[in-house]
């Protein structure tokens, strides 16, 4: 199911051709500027440390998702636009191997973003005991969210005809799914807001991060509920991707 040649080629393409290494440099710069704002701007530095860490961790996941969307949404549509998909499908490599190779390389890009964020999380959490648990939670929830985003955006890349369509549709879907994560506290505390929190995987991830940063308890019932909500989305994403893989084909009339 795993073809190392595809993974190596995709990593090279993502990091060098799709300018992934440049993106990572920009992400590091962004993290530096934001971290600096948190410690140097008076209003921001007055925030509770748990709020600072939670906000920064949310940002890490959102940036990871945006990079994932671009890479995943162009993964197959680029092959179609460059007329390379036909040659790929004519080899003995299965459609599953192609899709999994592409997914793995996309997730590796998220891991690079996550690794970049670690020193900043440690610096922002200095003096508190939450740094290790928040890093662990960013890794687990971030990876799960990125997997969901990658599965859905890759499927759109297979089904839609152009990279532009796939990127735009993926971003619109991401915004719809992300909205509950940015609702005001009053709405979140209502029963509808609470339900939305579970329905949106991103909102669930944010709730986990908040719960870890504030209480340092990541095994509470609430956190488990959010994890289950995210895992359900991973399953949904897998089903969607499975449908997408069947649709990898060269279209005729």
Q: Minimum distance between the CB of residue 83 and another protein, rounded to whole angstroms?
A: 3
**CA gap 244, 247 in Å, rounded:** 5
Residue from 40, 42, 87, 219 touching another protein (CB under 8 A): that is 87
Three-state secondary structure along 60-93?
HHHHHHHHHHHHHHHHCHHHHHCCCHHHHHCCCC
Residue 12 or 189: which CB sits closer to another protein? 12
Residue from 84, 215, 220, 242 touching another protein (CB under 8 A): that is 84
Q: Minimum distance between the CB of residue 79 and another protein, rounded to whole angstroms?
A: 8
Q: Which region, judged by CB under 8 A, interacts with another protein, from 6-14, 24-32, 149-157, 171-179? A: 6-14
User: Counting contacts by CB under 8 A, is residue 93 touching another protein?
Assistant: yes
User: Counting contacts by CB under 8 A, is residue 252 touching another protein?
Assistant: yes
Q: Minimum distance between the CB of residue 93 and another protein, rounded to whole angstroms?
A: 5
**CA gap 171, 179 in Å, rounded:** 12
Largest interatomic CA distance in the chain: 64
Residue from 40, 82, 129, 219 touching another protein (CB under 8 A): that is 82
Decide: residue 95, CB within 10 A, 0-12 exposed, 13-18 middle, 19+ buried: middle
User: Counting contacts by CB under 8 A, is residue 159 touching another protein?
Assistant: no
CA distances from 213 to 81, 103, 195, 222 (A): 45, 30, 22, 14
State both tokens at 91: 């080899």
DSSP 176: H
Q: Minimum distance between the CB of residue 253 and another protein, rounded to whole angstroms?
A: 4
- Residue 217 has, within 13 A of its CA and on its CB side, a CA count of 6
Residue from 2, 21, 37, 86 touching another protein (CB under 8 A): that is 86
User: Counting contacts by CB under 8 A, is residue 1 touching another protein?
Assistant: no
Residue from 21, 91, 220, 242 touching another protein (CB under 8 A): that is 91
Q: Which region, judged by CB under 8 A, interacts with another protein, from 21-29, 38-46, 86-94, 217-225? A: 86-94
User: Counting contacts by CB under 8 A, is residue 183 touching another protein?
Assistant: no
List binders of another protein among 231-250 (CB under 8 A): 249-250
User: Counting contacts by CB under 8 A, is residue 6 touching another protein?
Assistant: yes
């Amino acid at each position: 199911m795993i073809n190392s040649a595809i993974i190596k080629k995709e990593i090279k393409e993502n990091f060098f051709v799709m300018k992934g290494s440049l993106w990572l440099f920009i992400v590091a710069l962004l993290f530096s500027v934001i971290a600096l704002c948190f410690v140097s701007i008076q209003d921001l530095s007055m925030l509770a440390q748990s709020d600072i860490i939670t906000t920064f961790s949310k940002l890490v996941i959102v940036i990871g998702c945006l990079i994932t969307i671009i890479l995943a949404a162009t993964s197959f549509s680029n092959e179609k636009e460059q007329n390379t998909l036909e040659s790929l499908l004519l080899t003995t490599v299965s459609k599953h191997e192609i899709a999994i190779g592409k997914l793995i390389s996309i997730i590796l890009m998220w891991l690079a973003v996550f690794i970049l964020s670690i020193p900043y999380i440690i610096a922002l959490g200095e003096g508190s005991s939450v740094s290790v648990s928040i890093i662990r939670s960013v890794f687990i929830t971030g990876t799960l969210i990125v997997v969901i985003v990658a599965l859905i955006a890759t499927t759109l890349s297979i089904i839609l005809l152009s990279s532009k369509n796939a990127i735009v549709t993926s971003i619109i879907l991401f915004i719809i799914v992300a909205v509950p994560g940015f609702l005001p506290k009053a709405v979140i505390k209502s029963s509808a807001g609470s339900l939305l929190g579970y329905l949106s995987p991103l909102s669930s991830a944010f709730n986990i991060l908040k719960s870890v940063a504030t209480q340092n308890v990541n095994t509470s019932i609430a956190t488990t509920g959010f994890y289950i909500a995210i895992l359900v989305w991973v399953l949904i994403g897998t089903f969607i991707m499975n449908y997408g893989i069947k649709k990898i084909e060269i279209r005729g009339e």
